[in-house]
Amino acid sequence: MEYLIKQYPLDTGALEIQYIEEYFGEFPRKKTAQEIITRLRDRESLILMAEAPLPDDPGLVVPVSYKIVHELREREAEPKLADLVARLRNAVRFEDRKVLYSWIGGTRRDWRGQGHFRALTEESEAWAHASGYHEVVVKTKNRFYDMRGTLDQLEFNVIKYEVNPIDNRESKVYLSKQLTSDVVRAHTSRRSVVYAD
Ligand SMILES: CC(C)(COP(=O)(O)OP(=O)(O)OC[C@H]1O[C@@H](n2cnc3c(N)ncnc32)[C@H](O)[C@@H]1OP(=O)(O)O)[C@@H](O)C(=O)NCCC(=O)NCCS
């Protein structure tokens, strides 16, 4: 199978992500287009979406999976990112290295388990490696079992675990992957990428 991936510029990408997030009923706190634009405006980033046919109308191709990755700097002004960098202090080396943060992503329920997220992840890793990034970092929670299982299959390594003393399901898990040429060579998905306006 060849995965169909669209790469978006910031403004249209932010609107597309806001739209697709409406389909993720399990997560009450969805990102708005404005939040996405504010976060990504002054930093290197990649907005990817996978498209696939609707099962009962295969002529119609719809967005089914998405992923946003962005640069994470040693010195961040935005409080949320500054906090993230501080938490990663002893787990990730920033000095003289480009670090990528895998911010948000998901696959619509009816299309899960079909390789779309692997295809987006591999595309983002290929882009990141070509753009000089050394490492990609991602944050999740204990209770996001689908995501944890997926990150495991995608060979992310746990670099930090932050216990939530009230509810361990809410504990945070930080993972990362070194972006070597071996990693890119080991990719398995066949992908075609188009650039949206
Ligand atoms: C996690 C998620 C993005 C996976 O998307 P997907 O398109 O189904 O993933 P893929 O089909 O590309 O699977 C990639 C790999 O992970 C594995 N995988 C997928 N779901 C899995 C699960 N629930 N448990 C274990 N492994 C899983 C697949 O088998 C595959 O491995 P392989 O390529 O080595 O065979 C999707 O389940 C999702 O959107 N979940 C909700 C989002 C979420 O949990 N967000 C939490 C915020 S961090």
Query: Where along the chain do its domains lie?
Result: 2-195
Measure CA 80 to chain center. Answer: 17
**Which residue puts its alpha carbon closest to atom 16 of ligand 1?**
150
pTM exceeding 0.85: yes
Residue with tokens 């970092």: 137
Which amino acid residue places its CA nearest to atom 1 of ligand 1?
Answer: 147
Of ligand 1's atoms, which has the minimum distance to the CA of residue 146? 23
Asked if 61 and 15 touch (Cβ cutoff 8 Å), the reply is: no
CA–CA distance, 106 with 160 (Å, rounded to integer): 22
Instruction: From 106, 102, 84, select the one nearest 177 (Cα to Cα).
Output: 102
DSSP character string of 111-174: GTTSSHHHHHHHHHHHHHHHTT--EEEEEEETT-HHHHHHHHHTT-EEEEEE--SS-GGG-EEE
58 touches 91 (CB < 8 A): no
Q: For 67-97, write each residue's pLDDT tens digit.
A: 999 999 999 999 999 999 999 999 999 999 9
Give every CB contact of residue 2 below 8 A, 6+ residues apart in sequence: 190, 191, 192
- % residues pLDDT > 90 (the chain): 94
CA angle (175, 98, 29) in 5-degree steps: 50
* Overall average pLDDT of the 31-35 stretch: 95
Average pLDDT over residues 7-13: 97
Residue whose Cα lies nearest atom 10 of ligand 1: it is 115
- Per the structure block, which two tokens stand in for 100? 């990528």
Mean of pLDDT over the chain: 96
CA of 104 to the centre of ligand 1 (A): 13
What whole-number distance in Å separates Cα of residue 47 and Cα of residue 193? 12
Residue 98: other Cβ atoms inside 10 A: 17
Cβ of 149 less than 6 Å from ligand 1: yes
CATH homologous superfamily for 2-195?
A: Gcn5-related N-acetyltransferase (GNAT) (3.40.630.30)
Main-chain phi, psi angles of 161, to 5 degrees: -135, 125
Predicted pLDDT of residue 27? 73
Question: 116: Cβ below 6 Å to ligand 1?
Answer: yes
| C-beta 172 within 6 A of ligand 1 | no
Place of tokens 């890119």: 184
Is the pLDDT at 28 greater than 80? The verdict is no
142-178: pLDDT as tens digits: 999 999 999 999 999 999 999 999 999 999 999 999 9
Question: What does the DSSP 8-state code read for residue 28?
Answer: S
Residue 100 has pLDDT above 80, yes or no: yes
User: What tokens were used for 56?
Assistant: 């009962």
Is any ligand 1 atom within 6 A of the Cβ of residue 102?
no
